[in-house]
Amino acid sequence: MPLDWEPGATPGDAPGDGEAATWGPLLHPLPLPPTAAGTMEIVYVYVKKRSEFGKQCNFSDRQAELNIDIPPNPELAEQFVERNPVDKGIQCSTSMSEHEANTERFEMETRGINHVEGGWPKDVNPLELEQTIRFRKKVEKDENYINTIMQLGSIMEHCIKQNNAIDIYQEYFDDEDAVEVTEEAPSAKTINVFRDPQEIKRSATHLSWHPDGNRKLAVAYSCLNFQRAPEGMSHESYIWDLENPNKPEIVLKPSSPLVTLEYNPKDSHVLLGGCYNGQLACWDTRKGSLVAELSTIEFSHRDPVYGSIWLQSKTGTECFSASTDGQVMWWDIRKMSEPTEVVILDITRKEQLESALGAISLEFESTLPTKFMVGTEQGIVISCNRKAKTSAEKIVCTFSGHHGPIYALQRNPFYPKNFLTVGDWTARIWSEDSRESSIMWTKYHMAYLTDGAWSPVRPAVFFTTKMDGTLDIWDFVFKQCEPALSLKVCDEALFCLRVQDNGCFIACGSQLGTTTLLEVSNGLCTLQRNEKNTASSIFERETRREKILEARHREMRLKEKGKVEGKEDDQREEEPILTLEELVTKAEEEFFDIIFTELKKKEVEAMKKSKPVGPERGREEGWGGGTGTQGGAVGRRGGAWGRGEDTGSGGGAPGLGAPSWAR
């Protein structure tokens, strides 16, 4: 149909073909003016009588119609820049594709069948003694049997006699001591991986090994992101049997997700769990997966329980817990309705809950039963004495040095006076004697450290986990500035770590609930010759050094005080308080001064060296001049920075890079 309908044609003019409607466009399809975005709306409008709605369509062929013709708009080309030449890489070989597929994880189970009774023929009832005897007698009379046995008997006799004559598997050189293990590089390998069977993954926040035999591992799962626990997240925590990574052996069902979980070292059926809502729960695995004892919520913590440890007691039922609400509570699991004792972590010793520090790790060593230590969110370690008379006396001293929460705190199992703290980006080793600072520390890492532990067999070895999923094994009698071994365990962050008592196996839990079991090489879990002495001498030496530094600092502070007091008699001139900008300017000026003096020195030296060569000199001077102007430029820029207009790093580069370019 021709496209020349007149605008304004009324519906009545449309060519109605009777029943079935063939409606054509009534209005001239206008290409509407381009909208602001440069797109054009093309609208095709048609009108239909209401009575015709729902009628069957009567399609008919018609010729192609040009509805819209949009010519190219050369003005748009202005928005593009022509690229000439264009580089394009071409591969002149057959194109191939790579594809990998992995089957879905399938569950395997090992089962055995116990064969109880032999394959008796149908007519013999195995339970009937007579029948079986008769059968046997029949067999014994069989000629085949007799011949066979004679033959086999002679072979057997030969071998038996052989065995009696010489022991071919005799161990030689058994008496000699095992040769010292050669220096093999430390290594660790993954033995097993236990994945959280739940759909919604939670982080593995705490691990505890079974006290007897270490064949089981209890893992606490929870989501530590504040109020970000997804809907429908399960509260369950599991106990895994190391042999079976497909299914957890025991399921623990608390009312609130568990943040910590500990086996009772005296009774391997009892577990203590600290909940996210501040309660403490107790399980007996013989009784099932529901909570056996639960502390009442009014007397429990107000924040998640971050540390819970069993105490050494005759009854084996005492434990204590700490939480970020600033309280440390002692419990007896036989009576969980109330804590037996509460200590508030207020380091000003005024027992104000408002000024209390939040506890995020707890430490208790059974060889020092009256002392315990708490690592706080504020980066301070508080050492406490349980047996003090008044509550204020309970807090003995504090150690500060971390910039962030102390996620792990543990005394060295061989030298309890020294303890390891892990927090912010470092791990630090402290001595109880040195309160001002740690005696040894690692460098600042790129990722946050989340957990750490000493090796129970080697006094100089400790392990740390980081947020980038690496496990570091440090051995400071071997290497001090770096970990002896650094392993990437998984891609997500590792949250917790637990070493087995034999020092060989390490379990680490990650953010997605995956627990990895690793075995370290022999060198890292056998006590080296003389290691104890070496480690203790290192600790002593570092403690001494810190003490000396402490003494020096104290001296200097006293001197300062003395000076200040002396000046008070005269006119005391106050140093103007510099603003941040001015401090920055001052620092930059000093920095550039140093750089320039160095450059000048280099210039002079270079000039001296190449004096004999004529043309070089000109270049040298040009270079020198270049530097001068460049320096001037930088100097000017420096001035600009002084006004706080430009960032430091951008301007710095030309000042330093230019000389080489000019040359």
Partner 1 sequence: FLHPPPSWDVEETLKRLQSQKRVQVIMVVNTEGIPIKSTMDNPTTTQYANLMHNFILKAWSTVREIDPQNDLTFLQIRSKKNEIMIAPDKNYFLIVIQDPTE
CB of 152 to partner 1, least distance (A): 4
Long-range Cβ pairs for the range 1-10 (8 Å, 24+): 1/62, 1/65, 3/28, 3/29, 3/65, 3/66, 4/28
* DSSP assignment letter at 335: B
In terms of CB distance, is 137 or 228 closer to partner 1? Answer: 137
Could you tell me which residues are beta bridge partners of residue 203? 222
In the complex, the smallest distance separating the C-beta of residue 244 from partner 1, rounded to whole angstroms, is 24
Q: Which is nearer to partner 1, 124 or 233 (CB)?
A: 124
Q: Mind giving me the DSSP string for 158-183?
A: HHHHHHHH--TTPPSS-SSPPPPPP-
Q: Are the C-beta atoms of 458 and 528 separated by less than 8 Å?
A: yes
146 vs 604, beta carbon nearer partner 1: 146
Which residues are within 8 A (CB) of 323 and not within 5 positions of it... i.e. 6 or more apart? 274, 278, 301, 302, 303, 304, 305, 306, 307, 358, 359
Alpha carbons 466 and 493: distance in angstroms, whole number: 7
Q: How far is the CB of 131 from partner 1 (least distance, A)?
A: 12
CB of 215 to partner 1, least distance (A): 21
Using CB under 8 A, list all residues that contact partner 1.
114-121, 135-136, 139-141, 143-146, 148-157, 159-161, 163-164, 166-167, 169-170
User: Nearest 10 degrees: CA dihedral of 596, 599, 604, 610?
Assistant: -160
Alpha-carbon gap, residue 293 to 272, rounded angstroms: 9
From the list 344, 352, 348, the residue with the least C-alpha distance to 374 is 344
| Ordered alpha helix ranges (H), 105-216 | 129-141, 143-165
Nearer to partner 1, 142 or 646 (CB): 142
The two tokens of residue 62 are 């018609």
Q: How far apart are CA 387 and CA 9, in angstroms?
A: 102
Using alpha carbons, select from 391, 367, 394 the residue that is nearest to residue 383: 394
- Name the residue nearer to partner 1 (CB basis): 83 or 137: 137
338 vs 279: CA distance, rounded Å: 11
Cis preceding-peptide flag for 85 (omega within 30 of 0): yes
Distance of closest approach, residue 212 Cβ to partner 1, in angstroms: 23
Hey, how many other C-beta atoms are within 10 angstroms of the C-beta on 439?
A: 21
User: Phi/psi at 275 (nearest 5 deg)?
Assistant: -90, 165
Of residues 135 and 448, the one with the C-beta less far from partner 1 = 135
We find the least distance from the C-beta atom of residue 164 to partner 1, in angstroms, to be: 5
Q: Which is nearer to partner 1, 148 or 355 (CB)?
A: 148
Please state, in angstroms and rounded to a whole number, the distance separating the CA atoms of residues 145 and 141.
Answer: 7
> What is the spatial distance between Cα 245 and Cα 192, in angstroms, rounded to a whole number?
7
Shortest Cβ 159–partner 1 spacing (Å): 6
Closest to partner 1 by CB, 2 or 119? 119
CB of 174 to partner 1, least distance (A): 12
Name which of 93 and 170 has its Cβ closer to partner 1.
Answer: 170
Q: How far is the CB of 117 from partner 1 (least distance, A)?
A: 6
Nearer to partner 1, 157 or 555 (CB): 157
CA distance 464 to 426: 10
CB of 130 to partner 1, least distance (A): 15
Give least dist CB 519 to partner 1, A.
Answer: 23
- In terms of CB distance, is 37 or 165 closer to partner 1? 165
* CB-nearer residue toward partner 1: 151 or 486: 151
Side-chain-side CA neighbours of 648 within 13 Å: the count stands at 10
d(CA 319, CA 282): 11
**Angstrom distance (rounded) from CA 633 to CA 651:** 10
Our CB check for partner 1 shows the closer of 146 and 656 to be 146
Q: How far is the CB of 176 from partner 1 (least distance, A)?
A: 19
Q: Min. distance of Cβ 121 from partner 1 in angstroms?
A: 8
Residue with tokens 């980038």: 468
178 in Cβ contact with 522 (< 8 Å): no
